Amino acid sequence: DTVLTQSPGTLSLSPGESATLSCRASQDVTNNYLAWYQQRPGQAPRLLMYAASTRATGISDKFSGSGSGTEFTLTISRLEPEDFGVYYCQQYVTSPLTFGGGTKVEMK
Amino acid sequence: QVHLVQSGAEVKKPGASVKVSCKASGYSFTAYSMHWVRQAPGQGPEWMGRINPSNGGTRYAEKFLDRVTLTRDTSITTVYMELTNLKSDDTAVYYCARDGAPRWLQNWFDPWGQGTLVTVSS
C-alpha cells in the first residue's frame, strides 16, 4: 500500500496568517494523482484539490497545491475562521486508495 | 444540486451485519461510480471499495474483500454497503462518496454523503 505521511500533525495559526501543509508518499505518485480534502468538525470531508494542483469547483484561490513525485504541499493563504479544521491528502495511483493521517489547523 | 443522503446511525453487536444506504439525487446516477470510505474515531479516512451503478461492477480493498458487499438499485438511485461479521474496531463513520467525473473513473471523491455512524458493542 502507498503510505501517506502528513506533517505537521497540528498547526496553530492566527486568522490572516498562511498555512503550509505537507504530504509525503512512500512511493512515487505518478501523474500527480493526489487530492486534498478539508474536514470541519462534525462534517464530511470536502474536496479541495485534485491532480495535486487543480482546485475543485467552487474552491477559493486562497488554496493552492503543488508538488510531484513523493512530496506534495497544500498552501492556504489569509486564514479565515472557516478554514480551521483537519486536512487530508489522498493518493489515487495505486489500489487501495489511501489517505494521510491528517494535519489539524487550529486557531492560536 | 448533487445530494447524497445516507441512512441513520446503527448499533450492532459483534458478529452481526450492517447495511447502510446512500440515496443519490441531482445527477445521472449511472454515470458516476460510488465509493465507500470509513473513518474511525480520531483517524484518517479509509477506502473500502467502489461500485459502478451502471453495471453493478465492484472493486474492493483487499482488507474488506471477504466482509463487504456493495450493491445498487437503479430504480431508486440508491447504493448500499453491507459489512458482515462486525468487530469492535469496525466502529466508525461510514461515508458514500461520488467519484470525481462521469464515465471515466477518477478515484477522487466529490461530494460525500453526510456519514452514518456504526457502533459495534456488546
B102 Cβ under 8 Å from any chain A Cβ = no
A87 contacts in chain B (CB < 8 Å): none
For the segment B28-54, the average pLDDT, to the nearest whole number, is 97
Question: Å from A99 to nearest chain B CA?
Answer: 6
A44 Cβ under 8 Å from any chain B Cβ = yes
Q: According to the model, what pLDDT value does residue B30 have?
A: 97
Q: Which residues of chain A carry a pLDDT beneath 70? A: none
Q: What are phi and psi of B86, to 5 degrees?
A: -65, 145
The pLDDT of residue B36 is above 90: yes
Q: According to the model, what pLDDT value does residue B103 have?
A: 85
Convert the pLDDT of each residue in A83-97 to its tens digit. Answer: 999 999 999 999 999
Candidates B105, B108, B88, B96; CA nearest to B41 is B88
Q: Is A99–B47 a contact, with Cβ atoms under 8 angstroms apart?
A: yes
A14 Cβ under 8 Å from any chain B Cβ = no
B113 Cβ under 8 Å from any chain A Cβ = yes
Place of cell 501523474: A31
Q: According to the model, what pLDDT value does residue B121 have?
A: 97
Contacts of A42 (CB under 8 A, 6+ apart): none
Q: Which secondary structure element, helix H or strand E, spans residue B81, and what is its range?
A: strand B78-83
**Across all residues in chain B, what is the average pLDDT?**
97
For the segment B72-81, the average pLDDT, to the nearest whole number, is 98
For the segment B32-58, the average pLDDT, to the nearest whole number, is 97
Q: Is B45–A90 a contact, with Cβ atoms under 8 angstroms apart?
A: yes
Q: What are phi and psi of A41, to 5 degrees?
A: -55, 130
Place of cell 501517506: A4
Question: Using CB atoms, which residue from A56, A92, A100 is nearest to B44?
Answer: A100
Q: According to the model, what pLDDT value does residue B14 have?
A: 98
B59 contacts in chain A (CB < 8 Å): 95
Q: According to the model, what pLDDT value does residue B104 have?
A: 86
Contacts of B75 (CB under 8 A, 6+ apart): none
Q: Is B95–A44 a contact, with Cβ atoms under 8 angstroms apart?
A: yes
For the segment B100-121, the average pLDDT, to the nearest whole number, is 95
Q: According to the model, what pLDDT value does residue A19 have?
A: 98
Q: According to the model, what pLDDT value does residue B22 have?
A: 98
3-class DSSP state of A81: helix
Number of neighbours of residue A5 by Cβ within 10 angstroms: 13
Q: Distance between CA atoms of A83 and B74, rounded to whole angstroms?
A: 37
Q: Please, what's the b/e burial string for B79-113 (b: 16 or more CB within 10 A of its CB; e: otherwise)?
A: bbbebeebeeebbbbbbbbbbbeeeebbbbbbbbb
Beta-strand relationship, A10-13 and A103-107: parallel
